[in-house]
Every structure is written in C-alpha cells, then in structure tokens.
Structure 1
Amino acid sequence: MGEVKYTFIRKHTKKYTVKLLCSLLKVIRQGYYDWLKRRKSNRAIDSEMLIDDIRKIYTEFKGRYGSPRIALELCRRGKFTSKNRVARHMQQIGVAALPWRKKKVTSRKPSSEGVAENLVKRVFDTKVKHVLGVVDITYIPLQTGGFLYLATWIDVFSRKVVGWAMQARMTDQLVIDAFKQAIDKEHPRSVL
C-alpha cells in the first residue's frame, strides 16, 4: 500500500508540498524520501525494457541484425528509439551483428599428392631462352557482373608474354591453354 501512496505523492509534488501530501496520506516523509532513493528512474526502467527488446530481436534474427536494423525493427513494433542508443545498449550487453556473407573461395589448397617439386626455388633468372617460364593469373571484372580470368605464360629470359588464355572460370585448363599457345608460338627445342 505504501508503494501506491508514494507514487501518488511523486505525481502531485508539483502542485502540493511533500509535507502536506505525506500528512494527508498518513505516511512518514523520511519513508517517502528513502523510497525515492531506492526507486529507479524512468530512464533506467526504459533502458531495461529496451535491452530486453534488443535481446529478443537479436535472437529472433539469429544475431544478424546490427544497431541500425534493430532500431528500425523496434520502430516497426512501436518502440521508437535511435540507432545510437541501441548501439550503446548492444555494446553494454556485449552483442554485435555477425557477418552474414560467406567469403567466396577463390583458390583451393592443393593436396600433398600431385604437387610438383620446386625446381626454381625463387631464383627467377636464367641465361638461356625457353628454359624457365612462369604463369600469372589475374581476373578482369565485367560490366555485366562476374569476371574473366586471364592466364599469361611469361618467358623468364626475355620477360616476354609468350602465351595467354582467357576463360570465364579459373580452372587448370586455363593454364594448360596458355602453355600450349606458348609452345605453338615459340617452338622451343629441347634444351636437356
């Protein structure tokens, strides 16, 4: 019953004095002031309710929503707040949006079998033509979306592109085609 009386006093302190209201409702003034100290502010109560709503939306959308989307979802549900306030509360409770896009795998790690021995050992210098060649693969973005992959076969002696191939997919055949073009164009004789 004291809670109801204290709430009534708090609502009417702008019109009447606390002393008058306490005497009319037969409560002790010190008890009212102690209740005020224990009572949470409206802002603190709103913050607790907002944190509960943030947690619900965060779990409902499996952690994929950040503060802007959670604030928008709260507004859709009739609880208007800013994305900055949502961000502060998310940081306070230790939640953040998870990345939702899978990274596109552009290369594959080769298995141990089928890997050739490293004969070059990062020494890219030779005194004879057609002894050492290297391949470079790059991609060219298209205006329509997607990529074209370009493989170039370079003779280390002359630093000249001697073969190239282009495909819509990056496959082993891309490098093989560039190598075949280099062989057909240069006609190297066996040096061994």
Structure 2
Amino acid sequence: MRPKEPAWEVALDQTFAAHKRRYGTRRLRVALHQQGHCLGRKALRTAMRRRGLRALQPKAYTPRTTDSTHGLRCASNRLLDQPPVVQANRGWVSNITYLPLASGAWACLCAFQDVASKHVVGWHVMATMPEELVTTALQRALLAQQPTAGLLVHSDRGGQYCRNTYQALLYRHQALRSQSRRGKCYDNA
C-alpha cells in the first residue's frame, strides 16, 4: 500500500500544471503559500526533482533592427564634417526601434528627431519594418516642420534608409542624406 501524498505536493502538481509548466520554485512557493502551504524553496526543488517537474525557460528574444548587409549604396557621414547643429530644422536624426506589446508581440517605431531642439518631428509605427515605415515617418516630419533646403537627415545604415523611395523623398525636399560609418554604432547616438 502506497502512502498518501502530502496535500502540498498535490497542490504543487496542480499549480505547476495550471501555469503551463512556466513557474519555477520562486513563483511556485508564493502560489502555494497563498493556498496555505508554507514551505521553502529547497523542499520545493527536491519535490520537483523527485517528480520530474522542470520549469520551461522561454528563450529571450532580442529583435534586430539594422541590417546593413543589404548591398545597397550608403551615404557618407556628413555629421562628422559639420559643426554642432544649433538651429531647429537644420539637422534630423532617425532610427528604428522595437516596442514590446502587452500581447507579447512587437511593433516597430521609426522616429525623426530634430538635433537642436531634441523634439520628435515625425514618427510612424507598424508591425514590420518595410521602407514604408521610414518614408511615412519622414513625410509626417516634412509636412509638420516644412524645413528649408539643405536639411541634413542622418540615420544608421539600415536598408530602409538606402532604398530609392526614401532617397527620392529627400531629394524632392532638397535634404541631404547622411549615414553612420560601417561598424560605428555610436555615430547614430
């Protein structure tokens, strides 16, 4: 005859299953304590090992925004040759970043920021990073600010900033394209 399992071990199995095998000893201890079972992590660890329970560890996902291996022609870094920009709408910088959503998915944000005032002059959010993300954000910035000819627009070497539509938009507004040097991530800081 098999001895009866302690109530806390039955609760351990149920709690572990209810949380889809994602709870480790720390969170299981809290959950069991809320159910009235006071025990330490060491006892939990021993019981989990004996029962063959092992918490799943989700792999960390770090999205990558810049793909500079696109084979397209990049512009030189014109910011290196310029004195610091002190007048609004003379220099803008841009970048793309990921935004984590509550659902666990990601959204992509492209923003253009004025170098002198530090204000975001245009932005756009999409689920993916096509060229349209960058061009829409730039169009919004150009419509809102209406800068004069000679505006310097700086970005990293991402493929979205090297495509024809983006370049044509800059050309129509008589803006100069500038991009970070290869392997110099701080050029765009």
Q: Under a length normalisation based on structure 1, what TM-score does the superposition of the two structures give?
A: 0.41
Q: Under a length normalisation based on structure 2, what TM-score does the superposition of the two structures give?
A: 0.42
Which is strand-richer, 1 or 2? 2
Q: Which has the larger radius of gyration?
A: 1
Higher RCO, Cα 8 Å, sep 6+ = 2
